[in-house]
Chains A and B, each alone.
Chain A
Amino acid sequence: MASVSIRNVRKSYGPVEIIKGVSIDIQDGEFVILVGPSGCGKSTLLRMIAGLEEISGGTVAIDDRVVNDVPPKDRDIAMVFQNYALYPHMTIADNMSFALRLKNTAKSEIAAKVERAAGILGLGPLLGRFPRQLSGGQRQRVAMGRAIVRDPKVFLFDEPLSNLDAKLRVQMRTEIKEMHQRLKTTTVYVTHDQIEAMTMADKIVVMHDGIIEQIGAPLDLYDNPANMFVAGFIGSPAMNFIPGSIGGDGFTTEDGSRLPLGGRVPAASDGRPAVYGVRPEHFRLADEGLAAEVVVVEPTGSETQMVLRPLGVKAGREDRKRELTWVLRERTGARPGEVVRIAPDPALAHLFNPDTGLRL
Chain B
Amino acid sequence: MSILASSDRVAGAASVGRTKRLRPSYWPFVVPALVVVVGVIVFPWVFTLWMSAMEWRVGEEQRFVGLQNYVRLATDLRFLEALGHTLVYTALSVVAPLVLGTAAALAFNTKLPARGLLRGIFVMPMMATPVAIALVWTMMFHPQLGVLNYLLSQIGIGPLQWVYHPSTVILSLVLVETWQWTPLVMLIVLGGLASLPTEPYESAQIDGATAWQRFRYLTLPMIKPFLMVAVIIRSIDALKSFDILYTITQGGPGTASETINLYLYSVAFTYYDIGYGSAIAVVFFVLIILLSLVLLHLRQRSAWNSGDGK
Contact = CB atoms under 8 A, between A and B. Distances in A.
Q: Do the two shown chains form a genuine complex with each other?
A: yes
Interface of A: 50-52, 71-74, 77-79, 81, 83-90, 98-99, 102-103, 130, 132-133, 146, 150
Interface string B197-238: 101101111111100010001100110100000000000000
Contact of A85 (B199, B208, B209, B304): B199
B207 A102 contact: yes
Given A73-B206, A87-B217, A133-B309, 9 more contacts: A51-B205, A71-B205, A73-B208, A74-B208, A77-B206, A78-B206, A81-B199, A81-B202, A85-B197
A73 B199 contact: no
B305 interface: yes
Contacts of B61: none
17 contacts: A52-B202, A71-B205, A73-B205, A77-B206, A79-B206, A81-B202, A83-B199, A86-B200, A87-B200, A88-B200, A89-B222, A98-B204, A99-B208, A130-B308, A132-B309, A133-B308, A146-B207
A130 B209 CA distance: 21
A130 B206 contact: no
Contacts, number: 70
Contact of B207 (A52, A88, A89, A98): A98
Nearest to A79: B206
Contact of B309 (A73, A83, A130): A130
Nearest to B303: A89
B202 A88 contact: no
Contacts of B222: 88-89
Contacts of B202: 52, 79, 81, 85
Interface of B: 197, 199-200, 202-209, 213, 217-218, 221-222, 224, 304-305, 308-309
Contact of A88 (B204, B206, B209, B305): B305
A81 B218 CA distance: 17
A102 B213 contact: yes
Given A89-B221, A89-B222, A132-B305, A103 B203 contact: no
A102 B305 contact: no
B149 to A, nearest CB: 46
B218 A72 contact: no
A88 B205 contact: no
A132 B307 CA distance: 9
The 9 closest A-B pairs by CB, nearest first: A73-B208, A85-B199, A89-B304, A99-B207, A85-B203, A89-B221, A72-B206, A72-B205, A102-B208
Contacts of A52: 202, 205-206
Contacts of A51: 205-206
B99 to A, nearest CB: 21
Contact of B197 (A88, A133, A146): A88
A86 B217 CA distance: 13
A90 B304 CA distance: 9
A99 B214 CA distance: 12
Contacts of B217: 87, 98
Nearest to A100: B207
A88 B309 CA distance: 11
A50 B206 contact: yes
A89 B196 CA distance: 11
A96 to B, nearest CB: 10
A133 B309 CA distance: 9
Nearest to A149: B207
Contacts of B218: 87
Nearest to B223: A89
A81 B204 CA distance: 12
A51 B208 CA distance: 12
Contact of B304 (A79, A98, A130): A130
Contacts of A86: 200, 203
A89 B225 CA distance: 11
Contacts of A50: 206
A85 B205 contact: no
A133 B310 CA distance: 11
Nearest to B309: A130
A50 B213 CA distance: 20
Given A72-B205, A72-B206, A73-B206, A85 B200 contact: yes
B207 A73 contact: yes
B95 to A, nearest CB: 23
Contacts of B213: 102
A86 B204 CA distance: 9
A84 B199 CA distance: 8
Contacts of A103: 208
A90 B209 CA distance: 15
Contacts of A146: 203, 207
Contacts of B305: 88, 132
A72 B201 CA distance: 12
A88 B204 CA distance: 12
Contacts of B199: 81, 83-85
Nearest to B205: A72
Contacts of A73: 205-209
B5 to A, nearest CB: 28
A187 to B, nearest CB: 15
Contacts of B221: 89-90
A142 B139 CA distance: 61
B173 to A, nearest CB: 36
Nearest to A99: B207
Nearest to A91: B309
A131 to B, nearest CB: 9
Contacts of A84: 199
Nearest to B198: A85
B203 to A, nearest CB: 4
B195 to A, nearest CB: 12
**Which of A50, A51, A85, A130 is most buried by chain B, counting CB atoms within 10 A of its CB?**
A85
Contacts of A88: 197, 200, 222, 304-305
A71 B211 CA distance: 13
